[in-house]
């Protein structure tokens, strides 16, 4: 075997090894890049929602407040809140997402009816996002009145909490907080992982938390 042939063989082996490493890294790199885009979009969305509610709170009328107080059921209150935010988020109440749209937790488990983060209805909103809004039972004055979810990737996958789905709680006087804002850092880190629900990612990412592939 000539020296020239040995050198060619060595170069070929090196090239194949490098190609193999690149193929292994590309999916991870793509996943990280896509998640970084989701996080960036979520931060933009949260800032917009926060500003939106500051405007709503400044212009809310007595009639709106009276209507909310008179509402007898969660569905009625949800309809009123939806009507309030509709022009700000360009919510489409005519064409709804297909029934096959089923959000899941980050760990892949289903969100079952009756759970806090199960939404009966979804709506298309600005930039093809999907919006869910839910009136929740309040026990004290410090509890949230509504929760909202945003699938910033719309119908496109992964449709999972902490990946492309995030949410906020709405409190008295229009104050909003991302899910998980009142949790400990370790709790958030565990929840925002492959084995967690991903609910706490809404806050975890906002405080600079990392993400797993």
Determine, yes or no, domain membership for 211.
no
**Could you list the residue range(s) of the whole structural domain that residue 18 is in?**
3-204
Say yes or no to pLDDT of 158 above 90.
yes
Domain count along the chain: 1
Determine, yes or no, domain membership for 152.
yes
Show the DSSP H helices in the chain as ranges.
Answer: 3-59, 62-70, 74-89, 185-191, 201-204
Do strands 176-178 and 130-135 pair parallel, antiparallel, or not at all (unpaired)?
Answer: unpaired
Determine, yes or no, domain membership for 46.
yes
- Three-state SS across 124-176? ECHHHCEEEEEECCCCCCCCCCEEEEEECCCCCCCCEECCCEEEEEECHHHCE
**Comparison of pLDDT for 122 and 208, the residue scoring more:** 122
Say yes or no to pLDDT of 12 above 80.
no
**Highest mean pLDDT, choosing among 29-33, 53-57, 63-67, 86-90:** 86-90
Determine, yes or no, domain membership for 209.
no
Q: What Rg, from alpha-carbon coordinates, does the chain have?
A: 23
Six-digit token pair at 202?
Answer: 């809404």
Q: How far apart are CA 117 and CA 91, in angstroms?
A: 20
Determine, yes or no, domain membership for 165.
yes
Mean pLDDT in the chain? 84
Give the residue among 78, 61, 208 at the shortest CA–CA distance from 131. Answer: 78
Q: What pLDDT does 184 receive?
A: 94
Sheet with 176-178: strands ordered across? 123-124, 130-135, 146-151, 165-170, 176-178
Contact 175, 165 (CB under 8 A): no
Q: What is the pLDDT of residues 116-134, one digit of tens each?
A: 999 999 999 999 999 999 9
Determine, yes or no, domain membership for 213.
no
Determine, yes or no, domain membership for 108.
yes
CB atoms under 10 Å from CB of 99, counted, come to: 7
Q: What pLDDT does 63 receive?
A: 75
Q: How far apart are CA 74 and CA 146, in angstroms?
A: 10
């Amino acid at each position: 075997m000539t020296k020239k042939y040995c050198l060619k063989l060595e170069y070929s082996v090196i090239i194949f090894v490098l190609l193999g490493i690149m193929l292994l890294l590309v999916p991870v790199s793509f996943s990280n890049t896509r998640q970084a885009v989701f996080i960036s979009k979520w931060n933009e969305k949260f800032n917009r929602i926060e500003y939106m509610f500051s405007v709503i709170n400044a212009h809310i009328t007595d009639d709106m407040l009276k209507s909310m107080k008179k509402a007898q059921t969660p569905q009625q209150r949800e309809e009123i809140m939806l009507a309030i935010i509709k022009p700000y988020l360009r919510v489409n109440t005519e064409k709804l997402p297909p029934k096959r749209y089923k959000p899941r937790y980050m760990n892949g488990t289903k969100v079952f009816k009756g759970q806090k983060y199960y939404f009966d209805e979804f709506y298309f909103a600005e930039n093809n996002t999907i919006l869910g809004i839910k009136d929740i039972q309040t026990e004290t004055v410090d509890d949230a009145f509504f929760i909202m979810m945003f699938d910033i990737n719309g119908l496109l996958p992964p449709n999972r909490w902490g990946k492309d789905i995030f949410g906020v709680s709405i409190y008295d006087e229009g104050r909003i907080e991302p899910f998980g804002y009142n949790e400990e850092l370790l709790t958030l880190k565990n929840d925002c992982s492959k084995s967690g629900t991903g609910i706490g990612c809404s806050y975890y990412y906002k405080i600079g938390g990392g993400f797993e592939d």
